Amino acid sequence: MLIGLVGSPNKGKSTLFSALTMAEAEIADYPFTTINPNLGVAYATRKCVDAELGVKCRPRNSLCTNGTRQIPVNVTDVAGLVPGASVGKGRGSQFLNDLSAADVLVLVIDASGSTDINGNPSEGSDPAVEVRMVCDELAKWLSGILLKHMQQLSKRADGAAAISEVLSGFKADEDLIKEAAGSAGLPLSYMNWSSEAAYAFSSAFLKESKPMFIAANKMDRSSREKLDSISSKLQGYAVIGCSAAIELALKKASESGSISYFPGSSEFRINKELNPEQRKALSYMGAYLRSNGATGVQQLLNLAVFSSADNIVVYPVEDEKKYTDHFGNCLPDAILMKKGSTALDLALKIHTDLAERMLYAIDARTRARLQKEYVLKDNDVIKIVSAAK
């Protein structure tokens, strides 16, 4: 899974990227800090099934802390988008292309209103304007791609398949294409769309294909009243208040051993003697956590992974009695799968050879034999049985 961080400049995208992934990203208080896209790994959290099964897990592809499984997801942070980005302004549309493979978009806005739509210092800017601008630029960018191919699209009776080929980098599903065209009231056979029609389709397709969450960042400089106002203006979007700066500071302090902090927690524990400046900073961050319940960063990630993305967690094993792999690792992997995925889809995700030779699956809890077409459930523990080579 790939989460794309997007937004206009100087909203804290690079700080949020670092807070999520602990990967190095250039952070500065001016526009266009990011030029090349940053790539990193973040960890969504879910309760592990080990306690339920009465075993102690030994993860291989993930982590587990006090019964909480941390499941890796990929995150990319691209350069800030300004009005006209779809036609090359700012850092241009090449950075829009970096988002094409993203499964989910997190649109980062400045909840404090202290930066304008171009990322310059400003007082009282409306963050909702940033959302409308970014969505507009994304739709213009996608419609521009379609219009470049409209001549060849106009010759095809199978419009959904034709668009899917043009938008192959978007993981464009034909059913989603048909849905978007229907929403926009557009035909898909021998299409000869105008720029307005292409824009209408693109807006509908992006809504269907790339769920978007709003990260109302810099909440440490904002207020609950401002957040409520932003949410009321952005009906239809999930708006999550967060402070990437505080989350990053807490993670760095935890990494250094100064404190013990688990992402998403409402508190931390101080482990060693601190100087007055450090105590003051941690006191401020502790007050923020008590007031808001958490920094919001982990909550944002979990929502993006498990809500609109419709993901479930499945644990593949090789020994259904001990819940282990062939090395003896208990519940070694926690794998994200789309709701509606089958046992065969799981086999394919593990290895193509396993899928090709698959005979059936076994539910490790009940030992029941499952057909290839079995629809996976959240927290299933599954063994794939395949024919010998």
User: Domain 311-386 classified CATH 3.90.78.10?
Assistant: no
| CA–CA distance, 156 with 356 (Å, rounded to integer) | 33
C-alpha 296: how far from chain center: 14
CATH class of 2-37+78-233: mainly alpha
User: In the structure encoding, which two tokens stand for residue 386, read together?
Assistant: 């395949």
User: In the structure encoding, which two tokens stand for residue 170, read together?
Assistant: 């978007």
**C-alpha distances out from residue 183 to 141, 176, 179, 196, Å:** 19, 10, 6, 14
User: Domain ranges in the chain?
Assistant: 2-37+78-233, 311-386
Check residue 383 and report its DSSP letter.
Answer: E
Q: Confirm if 215 and 300 have CB atoms less than 8 A apart.
A: yes
Q: Confirm if 171 and 121 have CB atoms less than 8 A apart.
A: no
Low-confidence ranges of the chain (pLDDT < 70): 24-37, 85-97, 308-309, 389
**C-alpha distances out from residue 36 to 2, 23, 25, 165, 361, Å:** 17, 14, 10, 27, 43
3-state secondary structure of 163: helix
| CA–CA distance, 207 with 135 (Å, rounded to integer) | 9
User: In the structure encoding, which two tokens stand for residue 229, read together?
Assistant: 């106002």
Check residue 85 and give its pLDDT: 61
Check residue 25 and give its pLDDT: 47
Per-residue pLDDT tens over the stretch 266-295: 999 999 999 999 999 999 999 999 999 999
Task: Please check whether the two domains, 2-37+78-233 and 311-386, share a CATH topology.
Answer: no
Instruction: Check: pTM over 0.85? Answer yes or no.
Output: yes
| pLDDT more than 90, % of the chain | 73
**C-alpha distances out from residue 251 to 218, 255, 383, Å:** 17, 6, 36
